[in-house]
Chains A and B, each alone.
Chain A
């Protein structure tokens, strides 16, 4: 069937995403997409502006408030950037504890997205609440996994949302070995539940789609990237050092969004997040995570964005296994933090980590008095925005015979494939280069 007239698909307020966004797609009479927009109308909060003049030590606590869903990502990226600016390297068990805290955030955020936000699309419900009427056990399992992630963040960070224990150079207080050991049974239980979730989501029906964008993820050496790394990897034949990020990635502003669009220097769109991490680093997954991925039908490469829910489930298994490994190897460091004094001259530092939904870049310029002269943050959803729109175009053209209601639902599901974090994307955007 060919529609003889123009069609517009519009969702005024996207649900089950974090923050405020809308979708607007216009097709011409021939069924070709004229425009596909993910509109971000989240009010701007100007973090980059009011960070100026703040002490370098304040960045982790202030930037955590960009996002209540991934505050640890902001705290750790800020710490890495400030430590880079000050020429301090943390390392050892303090870095392991950061990774442990970060695993807590992955577990919490992924469990929330899989079970309450994304699975309802595959099973045909308006929400996890409605879905629980027929799939109570699956929702309860998700909540139980999520709770363990929150408990881990509370144990290491003091609380789950905006943890209080992170500071430049490490932590205010580090846990004893016994405090962490006591948490092992909960993690073991969560591991079993997370493996069940991989099997559950692997059985969903996945619409056909292929992501053609470039993929970007942190390169953490022989480890699956979570809490940072010194290089960024792409699926093309190049990678680059973290301090070259702004030579490779450019942002531009568009009228329909309070977020900026990121693209690579050659003008191509790219994707960060679970799909990118998995495609670039699946060989580094832990034992159970790798086995679960294979059993779920994920090969070495997975380019279907609808299967990102499976990748998220595998990454949840990984984060739990990794937490168990860190706790097993943990020896309390001699001191809870290393000093990170600001040098008495202007300096610059960058830090990159893998938030649950993708790469998060921080850069700070410090004045000679140790206050922030300029801040720049590039959040994951701003980077993914152009790729999401490109995927919507492909999807709508491939499924244009669906009626408006069904096609709109499919588009919403496609947006949720990338777990967009819209609060983040609106808040930190700083124009570097504008191109039209």
Chain B
């Protein structure tokens, strides 16, 4: 950009920040969360210029982008290339939700044979182009912030967007769901009802919704920082969960996250012996 243009920019109204939203393999729920900010959406669109957001507008302007929000995981060769271009065009790259941060539910293909999966779903698998694994965005490009959840929380999304537009770090705690249960005064479903609950090892952010509905946490925000999954597994076993059930509990929307992958793999029959030492 030339010096003359810079001077002209300064004398004009300050340019609005440019926000873009991109989708990869996903359910669209995390980007829908932006449209679910009903009270804030129009104010946001006044404050920033939405230059690319296919779900909401036909307008699509090229980069650079001040902030790019990316939903979804990488599952095709084309998308592996596309994310490189998005990264190159974006000052801050914020990835949204379990697909973008952990590979999502579609990472369950990692435990099977994707060719067999394709044949199971499509009669003409040769028309289908897909990768053997579903990978998070950070496996392909550097990421500035990972917002967790399946789906993400609306309040947290607003915090992250506001923070990057204001040039500060988002205030998103990485503690466990148990903390949120205590904060909202929910009776512990494990202690009171003996309900299996992943709260101790799951990342906070949802506001501990499930226990408030008398349901155990099912881990949709993925692992908390340094989760003690060994203790969690012992607890689940003591509640009567079978190794198969425990494997499935860790293999949902964040199955390919390191901590949950290790926990679910620890339940394989060949390693089960070690776990028999655990107090039942």
A118 within 8 A of B: no
Which listed residue (B26, B31, B50) contacts A129, Cβ 8 A? Answer: B50
Q: Are B75 and A45 in contact (CB under 8 A)?
A: yes
**Looking at chain A, what size class is its interface with the partner chain?**
35 or more
A386 on the interface (CB 8 Å rule)? Answer: no
> B-facing mask of A109-132, CB < 8 A → 1, else 0?
000100011000000001111101
Determine the distance from Cα of A126 to Cα of B218 in the docked complex, in whole angstroms.
Answer: 40
Q: Considering the chains assembled together, what is the distance between the CA atoms of A251 and B131 in angstroms?
A: 25
Q: Which residues on the A side are within 8 Å of B218 (C-beta)?
A: 61, 164
Cβ-defined contact, B57 with A16, below 8 A: yes
| Cross-chain contact of B248 among A20, A58, A117, A147 (Cβ < 8 A) | A58
Bound-state Cα–Cα, A273 to B128, Å:
28
Q: Which residue of B lies closest to A12 (CB)?
A: B60
Contact of B29 among A71, A126, A136 (CB under 8 A): A71
Find out whether the CB atom of B121 lies under 8 angstroms from the CB atom of A46: yes
Contact with A along B119-160 (1 / 0, CB 8 A): 011111001101000100000000000000011000000000
Complex contacts, B212 vs chain A, CB 8 Å: 158
Does the CB pair B106–A46 fall under 8 Å?
A: yes
Q: How far is the CA of A248 from the CA of B81 in the complex (A)?
A: 42
Q: Are B56 and A116 in contact (CB-based, < 8 A)?
A: yes
A277, CB-defined interface residue at 8 Å: no
Which one of A47, A49, A258, A423 has the greatest number of beta carbons of chain B within 10 Å? A49
Asked whether, in the complex, the Cβ of A129 is within 8 Å of the Cβ of B57, the reply is yes
Q: Does A19 contact B (CB under 8 A)?
A: yes
A132 partner residues in chain B, CB cutoff 8 A = 42, 45
Known contacts A143-B42, A147-B39, A150-B38; is A44 also within 8 Å of B122 by CB?
yes
Query: Do residues B206 and A423 form an inter-chain contact, with CB atoms below 8 A?
Result: no
Closest CB-CB distance, B183 to chain A, in whole Å?
17
Instruction: Give the CA-CA distance A44 to B121 in the complex, in Å.
Output: 9
Check A431 for interface membership: any CB of B closer than 8 A: yes
Question: Contacting B56 at CB < 8 Å: which of A16, A62, A255, A434?
Answer: A16
In the complex, what's the smallest C-beta–C-beta distance from A307 to chain B, in angstroms? 22
Report the nearest A residue to B116, measured CB to CB: A49
CB-CB under 8 A for A126 and B120, given A69-B28, A161-B32, A172-B213: no
Given the interface contacts A16-B58, A161-B151, A253-B127, does A68 sit within 8 Å of B215 by beta carbon?
Answer: no
Residue B234 is within 8 A (CB to CB) of chain A in the complex: no
Min CB distance A184 to B, Å, is 20
Expressed in whole angstroms, the minimum distance between the Cβ of B158 and any Cβ of chain A is 14
B36 nearest CB across to chain A (Å) = 6
Query: Which residue of B24, B28, B55, B120 contacts A16 across the interface (Cβ within 8 Å)?
Result: B55
Complex interface bits, B32-56 against A, C-beta within 8 A gives 1, otherwise 0: 1101101101100100001000111
**Is B20 located at the chain interface by the 8 A CB criterion?**
no
Which residues of B lie under 8 Å from residue A159 when comparing CB positions?
Answer: 151, 206, 209
A44 B124 Cβ-Cβ under 8 A: no
- B56 adjacent to A162 (CB under 8 Å): no
Which chain B residues lie closer than 8 Å to A396 at the CB level? Answer: none
- Quick one: which of B36, B121, B248 has the most chain A CB within 10 A? B121
User: B90 at the A/B interface (Cβ < 8 Å)?
Assistant: no
Which residues of A are found within 8 Å of B79, using beta-carbon distances?
A: 43
In the bound complex, residues from chain B placing their C-beta under 8 Å from that of A214 are none
Cα A20 to Cα B79 with chains together (Å): 12
CA distance A258 to B29 in the complex (A): 20
A159 to B30 alpha-carbon distance, docked (Å): 13
A430 within 8 A of B: yes
B214 within 8 A of partner (CB): yes
Interface membership of A50, Cβ < 8 A: yes
Q: Does A231 contact B (CB under 8 A)?
A: no
Task: Tell me, rounded to whole Å, the shortest Cβ–Cβ distance linking B35 to chain A.
Answer: 6
Residue B220 CB within 8 A of the other chain: yes
Are A147 and B38 closer than 8 Å at their CB atoms?
yes
Does A45 lie within 8 Å of B25, measured CB to CB?
yes
B109 in the interface (beta carbon within 8 A): yes
Name which residue of chain A comes closest to B105, CB basis: A65
Q: Is A429 an interface residue (CB 8 A)?
A: yes
Measured between beta carbons, the chain A residues less than 8 angstroms from B111 are 50
The answer to whether A50 and B117 touch across the interface, beta carbons within 8 angstroms, is: yes
Of A15, A52, A171, the most chain B CB neighbours within 10 A belong to: A15
Please tell me if the beta carbons of B213 and A164 are within 8 angstroms of each other in the complex.
Answer: yes
A127-B58, A144-B38 are contacts. A50–B108 as well, Cβ < 8 Å?
yes
Partner of A431, one of B28, B123, B134, B150: B123
Complex CA–CA separation, A164 to B213 (angstroms): 8
Interface status of B161 (Cβ within 8 A of chain A): no
Q: Are B45 and A44 in contact (CB under 8 A)?
A: no
Interface string of A165-185 (1 = CB under 8 A from B): 101000111000000000000
Given A49-B109, A255-B127, check contact A68 B32 (CB 8 Å): yes
Which residue of the partner chain, among B26, B117, B209, contacts A46 with CB atoms under 8 Å? B117
Report chain A residues within 8 Å CB of B114: 46
Q: Are B214 and A173 in contact (CB under 8 A)?
A: yes
Q: What's the Cα separation between A140 and B109 when bound, in Å? A: 42
Cα A255 to Cα B214 in complex, Å, equals 47
**Min CB gap A250→B, angstroms:** 12
B271: Cβ under 8 A from any A Cβ: no
Q: Which residues of B contact A167 (CB under 8 A)?
A: 215
Give Cα A162–Cα B151 distance, bound, in whole angstroms: 7
B162 sits at the interface (CB 8 A): no
Hey, which chain A residues are within 8 Å of B118, CB to CB?
44, 46, 49
Query: How far is B82's CA from A13's CA once the two chains are assembled, in angstroms?
Result: 14
Of the candidates B25, B35, B116, the one whose C-beta lies within 8 Å of that of A116 is B35
Residue A67 CB within 8 A of the other chain? yes
State whether the Cβ of B112 lies closer than 8 Å to any Cβ in chain A: yes
**In the bound complex, CA of A171 to CA of B38 (Å):** 27
List A35-58 residues whose CB lies under 8 Å from chain B: 42-50, 52, 54-55, 58
Given A45-B75, A50-B109, output 16 extra A-B contacts at Cβ < 8 Å.
Answer: A15-B54, A15-B56, A18-B32, A20-B23, A43-B130, A44-B130, A49-B109, A67-B27, A67-B28, A128-B57, A143-B38, A150-B36, A160-B36, A172-B210, A255-B127, A431-B121
Q: Lowest 3 CB-CB distances: which A-B pairs, in order?
A: A68-B29, A127-B57, A431-B123
